[in-house]
Amino acid sequence: MPGETLGLVGESGCGKSVTALSILGLVQRPGRIVGGKILFKGEDLVRMPVDELRDIRGRDIAMIFQDPLSSLNPVLKVGFQIDEAMQAHDKIPKDQIERRGVDLLKEVRVPDAARRANDYPHQFSGGMRQRAMIAMGLSNRPEILIADEPTTALDVTVQAQILELLRDLNEATGTSIMLITHNLGVVAGLCKRVIVMYAGEIVEQGPVEQIFESPQHPYTWSLLRSIPRIDADRRERLRSIEGLPPDLIQLPPGCKFSPRCPYRIERCFRDDPQLKEVAPSQEAACWVTMKRAYAEMGAATITDTRPGAASGVRPPKGVAAKVVDARTIDAAEGPVR
Amino acid sequence: MATAITNPTEFEYAGGTVAREQVSLWRDGLRRLRRNRLALTAGIYLILLVVVGLISLVWTPYNPNRIGTCETYALPGGGHPLGCDDLGRDSLSRLMVGTQVSLAVGVATSVIVLLVGVVVGLVAGYFRGPVDAAFSLLINIFYGVPPLLVAVALYVLLGAGLVNIIIAISATVWMDMARLTRGQALSIREREFIEAARAGGARAGKIVFGHILPNALGPIIVQATFVIPVAILTAAFLSFLGFGVPPPRADWGGMANEGLPSLQGGFDPYILLWPALALSITLLAFNFFGDGLRDAFDPRQKR
Amino acid sequence: MRGTLIYIGQRLVLIVFTVLVVSFGVFFIVHLLPGNAFVSDRVHGQALQILLHEYGLDQPIPVQYWNWLTGIVLHGSLGVSLYIRGLPITPLVLRELSVSAMLGGAALIITIGLGVTFGVLAAVRQNSWVDYLLTTIAVIGYSVPSFVIASLGILIFGQWLNNLTNGVIYYPEPWTGTYGTLAELSVPAIALGFYTSGQITRITRAAMLDVIQQDYIRTARAKGLVDRVVVLRHALRNALVPVTSILGPTVISIIVGSVVIENIFGIPGLGKEFVESIFQHDYNVTVGVFTIYAVLIGVANLGVDLIYTVIDPRIRY
């Protein structure tokens, strides 16, 4: 939908960045897309020839990344790197492109834009670099801007500025924004719709207010409970989710969240739940859902959030009870390329 | 990686922990080396080369230095599979004897460079200060002159002879080893287990040779294997220019030099061909073997 | 900019210092060599003493060095030849330098062109047959001695293809004197450049493989740039930084190699002069050639440092 703002949320290592990279076919070897469809204006990007996909990159769908320093080429001028994005798709005279490049820098509120265009990335501050990245992303007025953790590497005050900039640009230009983050606060500030991912799959999606108000997947619920709140009772402990996301190469059978879920039932270890409507325009993939957890397992007052604590269901024999092993830590901590 | 010292027991055994890592490092390295077929082939060739060199000490088909063993410029065939040179000496016999010079120069230079370079590098890297400053200046000057020309000058100064060739070449190639060792020492001396050993009262000599050296040994040994082909190549250059072992003793560079006129004259390319081939294959083998060693024992260092 | 000028100044001081040390060292060594330039003239006793005195060779070495040094500083003179008695050296070695520079320059272009091209191709086609072929050529490059490549060139172009090349590439013993045509330089220059190209191929390949993993390459692809632009403009520019670091050693390798190559092809350059001067005990020429090489290497290293600042804007002195 044009002008939409969508948040893609999940812990580190649950497949958000890979999903985003897959959209533009940028997954690094040896990674590859084994199946599924990515539809853009009715065309499947996965099966699209490389040449056509290249035309879409940067023109229809643009992307900005987590670390603006390493994402900008250190040996090329910032202005040039922005101009280049336009030249790749448009045959416009050089001076005109350069003027547009400076205008873009002004648009993302880089002060003294004409002079800064001739600077190199190392002469920019972190926030300025991300602004330059955003200018580059918006240079061809794309339909969609994918922002992969755009504020994670920045100072808190700069984070707010960048988010505000993204929101203003979304309203002013009508470019849809897909925001990938592990930070629910960021989603709340910018997005209208949210998708929650776990272990490479969508577990819940819907309007932001609705999801924040009544999350139906226990994973979403756990994520929301782990946000520090200023108005919380001081004695109430901050809840973290026990364990780590599974190794995406060795996924457990059944629901992928079952090894860590406090509300799991026997079926969760057997069958993989599919997304189904749990409320108007809200979908969740869960056999239990929080409605039942509140009604039957006392989720409103629960303090023990260890796996299976609320439902009392242990994993069946043969299913590894161990959530954390060395491999999962590697997979979770390693940078997602 | 030596981990941070967290309790007194580990502190006591800091040295022991390092030693055990070395053992597994060597075992892993050997396993990796065995899987590298190119390096393995090169290694087998080099062993054969050593065998040929040893055999040539006691036996060659003909006397390699006797003039008129057969017709001059005799082409390969008959009793002389590789033919004869411009003085009617048997090329195969001379090629076999030439192995000795190349191997002797290569191995001896490598050993000398290993000893000198490692000691200088360790001292400069560990003690830093004026020692290091003087070393850096010396290195700077050495890197400012073409090494082959220095070797020529030294060779002429010292006089002809195998030992002098080795000295002259060693003097021009030791710096790389010293620089490498210095770099290793500089980084290892900052690690926790060195701190622990120093706090435990170990003397400088014990720290340098007992702790730093064993941990720097991987790259050092890899570098030492690369010194061998460099030394052989330099020796070949020297004797090709006329600064080799004194005649009539055969060495590959000198043989190539003797063969050049017959090649240019267009009547017998073989005199040059054999030593050229022997040199090229031997240098290739050393480089492939060295690459294999580096991949196996020093995986961090990528080039 | 000001910092760069100061840096250049410092480096020039270091070059002067190095050249002084090197020239004195070589001066010292060559004067220790047994024999002298007049042996072949069969002069002995009184006559020899007179000759030695005439050329100042009877004075202590430091005094001789001082005289030599003041000669350079005051008159730009590297002294006179002892072998061809009284011949001023400066014009001689400058002419030879121009010959060597042409050969070495051609070799440098070949070595960088070949090395970078091969390195990029090998990295882009990593683990394919192209990669294996090019990396094997690289190892052959720095394993096979340059005189072997040179001999091969003589055999192929001078002997087998003599009718085709019309003898332009084939060098009979004495140099014909018509250096300067590309055809005549091509075989010696290739033989000279092939050795160092192997090292450059390796470094370029490794650097490219490293750079291709970087985030900014992903950004470049996300912009929709074609692969050629991504590789050449974004990856190669960055990969050239480590390649630049071995340009200094490459220049030294080419100088060393030129000594051998010039002697094979009979090219009247500095390298050939150096070997002859050693055999002829022509001290002043030996020292002169050495000094020129030291200056050359110093300037080349300074040049490399300045190239860094052009390639990588983050480097400032």
Q: What is the CATH number of the domain that holds B263?
A: 1.10.3720.10
* Of B108, B224, B208, residue with least CA distance to B167: B108
Select the residue from B38, B149, B234 to test the C interface by mutation, using most C Cβ atoms within 10 A. Answer: B149
Domain final position from C30, C58, C89: C89
AA letter at A244: L
| Cβ pairs bridging A and C (under 8 Å) | 80
DSSP letters, A316-328, are: PTTS------HHH
Average pLDDT over all residues of chain B: 83
pLDDT value for B165? 94
pLDDT value for A325? 39
Q: Is residue B6 part of a domain?
A: no
Contact C234/A55, CB-based, under 8 Å?
A: no
Q: Which residues of B4-23 are buried (b: 16+ CB within 10 A; e: fewer)?
A: ebeeeebeeebbeebeeeee
**Whether C141 and C232 share a structural domain:** yes
Strand, helix or coil for residue A278: strand
Residues 6+ apart with CB under 8 A from B160: B243, B244, B245, B246
Residue pair A12/A333 in contact (Cβ under 8 Å)? The answer is yes
Residue A136 contacts C, CB cutoff 8 Å? yes
Contact C29/B144, CB-based, under 8 Å?
A: no
pLDDT value for B302? 42
Helices (H), B128-244: 129-142, 147-158, 162-188, 192-199, 204-206, 213-240
Phi/psi of residue B197, each to 5°?
-65, -40
- On chain B, the residues whose CB falls within 8 A of the CB of C206 are 302-303
Residue B244 contacts C, CB cutoff 8 Å? no
**Whether C243 and C183 share a structural domain:** yes
Q: Is residue C317 part of a domain?
A: no
Contact B303/C206, CB-based, under 8 Å?
A: yes
pLDDT tens per residue across span C203-215: 999 999 999 989 9
Q: Is residue B186 part of a domain?
A: yes
Q: Total structural domains in chain B?
A: 1
Q: Total structural domains in chain C?
A: 2
- On chain C, the residues whose CB falls within 8 A of the CB of B284 are 139-140, 143-144
Residue C259 contacts B, CB cutoff 8 Å? yes
Domain limits at C32?
Answer: 15-89
**Whether C64 and C119 share a structural domain:** no
Cis preceding-peptide flag for A150 (omega within 30 of 0): no
List per-residue pLDDT tens for chain B, 303 residues long: 333 333 333 333 333 344 445 556 677 778 888 888 888 999 999 999 999 999 999 888 888 888 877 877 777 777 777 888 878 788 899 999 999 999 999 999 999 999 999 999 998 888 888 888 888 888 888 888 888 998 998 888 888 889 999 999 999 999 989 999 999 898 888 888 888 888 888 888 888 888 888 888 888 988 898 999 999 999 999 999 989 888 888 899 999 988 888 887 777 888 889 999 999 999 999 999 988 888 887 655 443
- Closest residue of B to C264, CA-based? B260
What is the Cα–Cα distance from B205 to B183, expressed in whole angstroms? Answer: 18
Domain final position from C45, C67, C89: C89
pLDDT tens per residue across span B291-301: 888 888 765 54
> Across residues C18-40, what is the average pLDDT?
80
Q: Is residue B231 part of a domain?
A: yes
pLDDT value for C255? 93
Q: Is residue C316 part of a domain?
A: no
pLDDT value for B232? 94
**Whether C42 and C177 share a structural domain:** no
pLDDT tens per residue across span B238-248: 999 989 888 88
Quote the distance between the C-alpha of residue A298 and its chain's center.
31
pTM of model > 0.90: no
Q: Is residue C8 part of a domain?
A: no
Residue B134 contacts C, CB cutoff 8 Å? no
Q: Is residue B10 part of a domain?
A: no
AA letter at C255: I
**Whether C223 and C131 share a structural domain:** yes
Residue A287 contacts C, CB cutoff 8 Å? no
pLDDT value for C168? 53
CATH number of the domain at C269, please: 1.10.3720.10
Subunits adjacent to chain A (3 or more Cβ pairs under 8 Å): C
- Closest residue of C to B289, CA-based? C139
pLDDT tens per residue across span B15-58: 334 444 555 667 777 888 888 888 899 999 999 999 999 999 98
- Closest residue of B to C293, CA-based? B145
User: Distance (Å) from the C-alpha of residue C57 to the closest C-alpha of chain B?
Assistant: 18
Residue A62 contacts C, CB cutoff 8 Å? yes
Q: Which of B143, B269, B280 sits opposite C144 (nearest CB)?
A: B280
Write out the residue limits of the CATH 3.40.50.300 domain(s) in chain A. Answer: 5-191
pLDDT value for B73? 77
Subunits adjacent to chain C (3 or more Cβ pairs under 8 Å): A, B
What is the Cα–Cα distance from B283 to C140, expressed in whole angstroms? Answer: 9
Burial of B241 (0-12, 13-18, 19+ CB in 10 A): buried
- On chain A, the residues whose CB falls within 8 A of the CB of C241 are 75
- Would you tell me which residues 11-40 of chain C have a C-beta closer than 8 angstroms to some C-beta of chain B? 14-15, 18-19, 21-22, 26, 29-30, 32-34
Domain limits at B245?
Answer: 25-301
What is the Cα–Cα distance from C82 to C199, expressed in whole angstroms? Answer: 40
* Comparison of pLDDT for A29 and A4, the residue scoring more: A4
Contact C297/B140, CB-based, under 8 Å?
A: no
Q: Which residues of C72-90 are buried (b: 16+ CB within 10 A; e: fewer)?
A: beeeebbbbbbbeeeeebb
pLDDT value for A243? 73
Residue A89 contacts C, CB cutoff 8 Å? yes
pLDDT tens per residue across span C284-297: 899 999 999 999 99
- On chain B, the residues whose CB falls within 8 A of the CB of C32 are 157
Read off the tokens for A301: 């007052």
User: Distance (Å) from the C-alpha of residue C154 to the closest C-alpha of chain B?
Assistant: 7
Contact B147/C252, CB-based, under 8 Å?
A: yes
**Whether C194 and C161 share a structural domain:** yes
Pick the CATH number of A5-191 from 3.30.310.50, 3.40.50.300, 3.20.20.120, 3.40.50.620: 3.40.50.300
Read off the tokens for B281: 């294959």
What is the Cα–Cα distance from A56 to A77, expressed in whole angstroms? Answer: 24
pLDDT tens per residue across span C65-123: 898 888 888 888 888 887 777 788 888 889 889 889 989 999 999 999 999 999 999 99
pLDDT value for A259? 85
**Whether C128 and C178 share a structural domain:** yes
- On chain C, the residues whose CB falls within 8 A of the CB of B230 are none
Contact C218/A337, CB-based, under 8 Å?
A: yes
Strand, helix or coil for residue C128: coil
Strand, helix or coil for residue B186: helix
- On chain B, the residues whose CB falls within 8 A of the CB of C139 are 284, 287-288, 291
- On chain A, the residues whose CB falls within 8 A of the CB of C226 are 54, 88
Domain final position from C24, C58, C89: C89
Residue B140 contacts C, CB cutoff 8 Å? yes
User: Distance (Å) from the C-alpha of residue A196 to the closest C-alpha of chain C?
Assistant: 24
Q: Is residue B1 part of a domain?
A: no
**Whether C184 and C263 share a structural domain:** yes
**Whether C23 and C79 share a structural domain:** yes
